[in-house]
Structure 1
Amino acid sequence: MNATHTTFAQDNGLRNIPAVDDFSGMINHPNPLIRESSPLLGFTVRVKTLLDPPEDKKLIDLIEQDIRHILLRLEAERYEPGILISWSYFFCTFIDEMVMARPWGIECWAQHTLLVRFHSETWGGEKCYQLINRLLLEPSRYHDLLEFIHLCLCLGFQGRYRMTAQYQEERERILRLIHQKLQSVRAQQPAERTALLSNTVIHVGSTERERRYRLHGLLSVKKIAWMMAFIALAGFLLFNWQLHIQTENIIDRLDVLLP
């Protein structure tokens, strides 16, 4: 991120919002979608602690301006237009959800949500999961976007599951599936891309299961080779043990049949 770029969070009345998590490690994140979004991602976490609305009455205007600036910088990263539209749709839905979950959120936000401003829609909770299903069909192509979405889910995005607590198992299943797809793609990437799923991906999940899905550092080639050798050895020993048991059984039967 350009060091000279400032955001609403730095310059527009949000200085006194206590930080819940340190997002400074994401400023240099290799994934541009996460790197450029990091100030607003920090806002979505901090806003959960606010009992009263921020002092700035034009907060949504400032966030809209920030998103437009981010989109301009992401265009320089040569992403497909569809990826940028999907990023914007998901991020707008996520920020809207986090703000309107606060006691003051609906009054100051609902009439002109980010999703309305950018996509002329009033609710994206269902479409976001339809989008996830589409992206999972091509995880390599949409790796950066899936990683961004994975982070939003870990930070608390609910979407269509917000009002249906009984379906949290399904949401967590989707979270696990994205995690698995990302790990699979990651294992096929060259070494210089391995930091994409590094520990700079921050988890602030509300449940213990969500926290378990933190993406850890990629295993080295040497570690993978050792693991494969260990698995092969374990399989060989298990096979030998089973063969020994079967041989003993056959000998016992022969002893009975041939006294």
Structure 2
Amino acid sequence: MPIDNPSDYSNDNERTVFIPNPSGRAPTPKTSPALPPYQSPLSNDPHNQQNQYSNNSSYSPAQHIVQSGINPLVAAASGLIALPAQLSIMPTHDNVENLRSQVLEKIKAYENNARAAGIETDINYTARYVICTFIDEAVLNTIWGSDSPWTRQSLLSTLHNEANGGETFFVIIDRLLQDPNGNIDLLELMFICISLGFKGRYAVMDRGYEKLEELRNVVFNHIRRRRGDFPQALSPHWQSQSDIKKPLRNYVPLWVVTAVASALLLVI
């Protein structure tokens, strides 16, 4: 049965969007009960999607992701970041309600990891909002997801009581860009989502692909100024507009590719 009770998670609709604290004081984190250990939820075999993976005793992102310089927010969310790429290539899914339940459990595990890594509560909530929006879009863009209970019970509506993630995602970016150095971890997370195919409101906007690329370049340049230059991966050229349905992979930093590839190993 799907998990429909948002109280099972760290749900607080007033903390949906992180707003930088002008006083410079970190918000007081909430205390939450310990979450159960993570067990990998997804089968990479679309013909056997109800099967669980091997029962790992706990969820810990691959150590080399952290060692390669990924920020702790991305490290905690690495398995979730990898899900949209995996889900988008599934031609069918026999039990979408069960899939949704499993993803919600994985979000629980992410929150546990984020707290353990000392990530501030407001940042954690905003990251969860971003992740839910990213995964929801990937599922609803599939044939099997667009005609499923997910349309009525998205991750975002379940955990944040909202259904406007495709717009709010970019409102969050605009706010974070007011202080890019102070919000670099969230900006990196959102840059990865865009680089791996998230489009949100730009999917239906006139010249949306070009405008999204412009925004992605803005975020990229802020990250580069803060983190320094890093190797570029994949295609050295922009994709053509006719390739709009493919992920935005050009000029993706090598650490992004490493992070997602490593995260996929965690769920395969």
Paired AA for residue 239 in structure 2: E
User: What residue in structure 2 maps to residue 119 of structure 1?
Assistant: 160
Matched position secondary structure for 1:131 = helix
What is the CA deviation profile of residues 215-258 of structure 1, one whole-angstrom value per residue up to 9, with x for unaligned ones?
258xxxxxxxxxxxxxxxxxxxxxxxxxxxxxxxxxxxxxxxxx
| Cα distance in 2, alignment partners of residues 121 and 80 from structure 1 | 22
User: What residue in structure 2 maps to residue 87 of structure 1?
Assistant: 127
| Cα distance in 2, alignment partners of residues 73 and 116 from structure 1 | 22
Paired AA for residue 44 in structure 2: R
Cα distance, 1:134–1:198 mapped onto 2, change above 3 Å: same
Q: Is the 8 A contact 1:93 1:114 kept in 2?
A: yes
What is the CA deviation profile of residues 54-98 of structure 1, one whole-angstrom value per residue up to 9, with x for unaligned ones?
546411111011101211210122222221111011110110000
User: What residue in structure 1 maps to residue 45 of structure 2?
Assistant: 16
Give the TM-score taking structure 2 as reference length: 0.64
| Cα distance in 2, alignment partners of residues 16 and 111 from structure 1 | 26
Give the superposition deviation at 1:39.
2.0
| Cα distance in 2, alignment partners of residues 34 and 186 from structure 1 | 15
1:168 aligns with 2:209: yes
Paired AA for residue 6 in structure 1: Q
Give the TM-score taking structure 1 as reference length: 0.66
1:46 aligns with 2:66: no
Deviates more, 1:75-84 or 1:86-95: 75-84
Paired AA for residue 16 in structure 1: D
Cα distance, 1:88–1:204 mapped onto 2, change above 3 Å: farther
Count of residue correspondences: 196
Paired AA for residue 201 in structure 2: R
Deviates more, 1:170-179 or 1:57-66: 57-66
Give the superposition deviation at 1:112.
0.7
CA RMSD of aligned residues (A): 3.0
5+ long unaligned stretches in structure 2: 1-36, 48-60, 241-247, 256-268
User: What residue in structure 2 maps to residue 6 of structure 1?
Assistant: 39
1:212 aligns with 2:250: yes
Matched ranges for 1:1-259 at <5 A: 5-9=38-42, 14-17=43-46, 26=65, 30-55=70-95, 57-108=97-148, 109-164=150-205, 166-187=207-228, 208=239, 210-215=248-253
5+ long unaligned stretches in structure 1: 188-196, 218-259
| Cα distance in 2, alignment partners of residues 42 and 214 from structure 1 | 15
| Structure showing the higher helix proportion among its residues | 1
Matched position secondary structure for 2:86 = helix
Matched position secondary structure for 1:62 = helix
Deviates more, 1:205-214 or 1:33-42: 205-214
Percent pairwise identity: 25
| Cα distance in 2, alignment partners of residues 134 and 186 from structure 1 | 20
What is the CA deviation profile of residues 86-114 of structure 1, one whole-angstrom value per residue up to 9, with x for unaligned ones?
10111101100000001111222111100
Runs (4+) off by over 6 Å: 201-206
Higher radius of gyration, 1 or 2: 1
